[in-house]
Copies of this chain bind each other. A is one copy, B any other.
Amino acid sequence: MAATRPTMKDVAAEAGVSTMTVSRVVNGDSAVAPRTAARVEAAVRKLGYQRDDVARQLRRTHQLSQIIGLLVDDVTDPFMAAVASAAEDVARQRGSIMLIGSSRADPRREREVIAAFTARRVDGLILTPAAGSHRFLRPAQAQGTKIVCVDRAAPGLDVDAVVVDNFGAVRAAVAQLVTHGHRRIGYLGDTPKIWTFGERRRGYLAALRAAGIAADPALVRDGVRTGPEAAAAVTGMLALPDPPTALLAGNELLAFGALTTAPGDLAFVAFDDFALAARLTPPVTVIAQDPVALATSAAHLLFARIHGDVSPPRTVVMPTRLIRRGSGELPGPFAA
């Protein structure tokens, strides 16, 4: 049952050659006489030999491990799933495999997962940083692990990042709600300690300020993490004496939660596009970003670093698009 896997030594014995020759054949590096190679290949097939990449990596300590690590909040978030998928595609093209870990927005878990990854000598990490400082990555970075952030910047860490202009996108979307006659506009987001939510919140406040509207703390909800929490927050806002006439949901999950209770006449804009947005009544206006493009770009950047790019870290900003489907264009009480 617990058959032990054959090693190069076994193959060498079977083929009557040295392990060096087996190594050469298995890796197709350097010249081996065709007849010898054929004998080795036959032995490989006969024994079911597969190269042990663990031993290989140990010997080639200063070479690449051909493993990258991806750390996301939560893969069940469709945005993160798209990131994971795109990152793995690039990794595969580059001959690497990918470890995946979820932080669940918990900085401690994030650190532990990253430590487990670096202990395996990953060549690089793609991160969607959780809240909190990421200085703890400096030693790993100093030892040569390349790091690229995607979706979010990592304050306190000097690395590449591929993001969108969250601030500008939300500001523009909220400004549009104001244009359509809304002055009581609600905001739902997770903690502003997460970079994206901080930016989105800033954009919301900036748009209000630009319109001369005082922000009402009762309409600004931070730290909302789940669909049901979002639904409850919306219900709470609507029960206010002076309820909002428009709402901005900070991501897809919160949008789904809000949509379970939001009435159809509440103007609504969601950050992130989603599959059935056009099928709802009214169709949902969204701020769309392209997670595949973000992740592909981040992964290419990572592999460039892995292969020796030492230029100063840069932040790539990808575009967003406000897709007007109706819910964000519902007129408010101050409509012209």
Binding site for B on A (CB under 8 A): 1-5, 48, 50-55, 57-58, 62, 65, 67, 70, 74-76, 78, 81-82, 84-85, 88-89, 92, 97-102, 109, 113, 115-121, 139, 142-144, 227, 256, 259-260, 274-276, 278-281, 310
- A7 closest partner in B (C-beta): B61
Partner of A139, one of B48, B97, B276, B279: B48
Partner of A75, one of B3, B85, B109, B117: B85
Residues in B with CB closer than 8 Å to A139 are 48, 50
Residues in B with CB closer than 8 Å to A65 are 54
- A51 closest partner in B (C-beta): B119
**In the complex the two chains form, is B52's CB within 8 Å of A55's CB?**
no
Partner of A78, one of B55, B78, B119, B310: B78
Q: How far is the CB of A275 from chain B (nearest CB, A)?
A: 5
- Can you report 5 residue pairs joining A to B where beta carbons are below 8 Å apart? A50-B118, A53-B116, A97-B116, A256-B276, A279-B280
**In the complex the two chains form, is A144's CB within 8 Å of B2's CB?**
yes
A274 to B2, CA, bound (A): 43
Q: How far is the CB of A272 from chain B (nearest CB, A)?
A: 12
**In the complex the two chains form, is A55's CB within 8 Å of B58's CB?**
yes
- A310 closest partner in B (C-beta): B1
Residues in B with CB closer than 8 Å to A142 are 3, 48
- A138 closest partner in B (C-beta): B48
**In the complex the two chains form, is A100's CB within 8 Å of B102's CB?**
no
Q: How far is the CB of A259 from chain B (nearest CB, A)?
A: 6
Q: How far is the CB of A159 from chain B (nearest CB, A)?
A: 14
Residues in B with CB closer than 8 Å to A54 are 54, 57-58, 65, 120-121
**In the complex the two chains form, is B115's CB within 8 Å of A97's CB?**
no
Q: How far is the CB of A247 from chain B (nearest CB, A)?
A: 15
Select the residue from A98, A142, A144, A276 with max chain B CB neighbours within 10 A.
A276
**In the complex the two chains form, is A98's CB within 8 Å of B99's CB?**
yes
A81 to B88, CA, bound (A): 14
Given contacts A52-B121, A84-B84, A280-B280, could you give 19 more A-B pairs where the C-beta distance is less than 8 Å? Answer: A1-B144, A2-B144, A3-B142, A4-B62, A48-B142, A52-B119, A53-B116, A53-B119, A54-B57, A75-B81, A75-B85, A84-B100, A88-B101, A92-B109, A97-B99, A97-B101, A98-B100, A99-B100, A260-B278
Partner of A81, one of B81, B144, B256: B81
A259 to B84, CA, bound (A): 26
Q: How far is the CB of A64 from chain B (nearest CB, A)?
A: 12
A279 to B262, CA, bound (A): 11
Q: How far is the CB of A7 from chain B (nearest CB, A)?
A: 9
- A104 closest partner in B (C-beta): B89
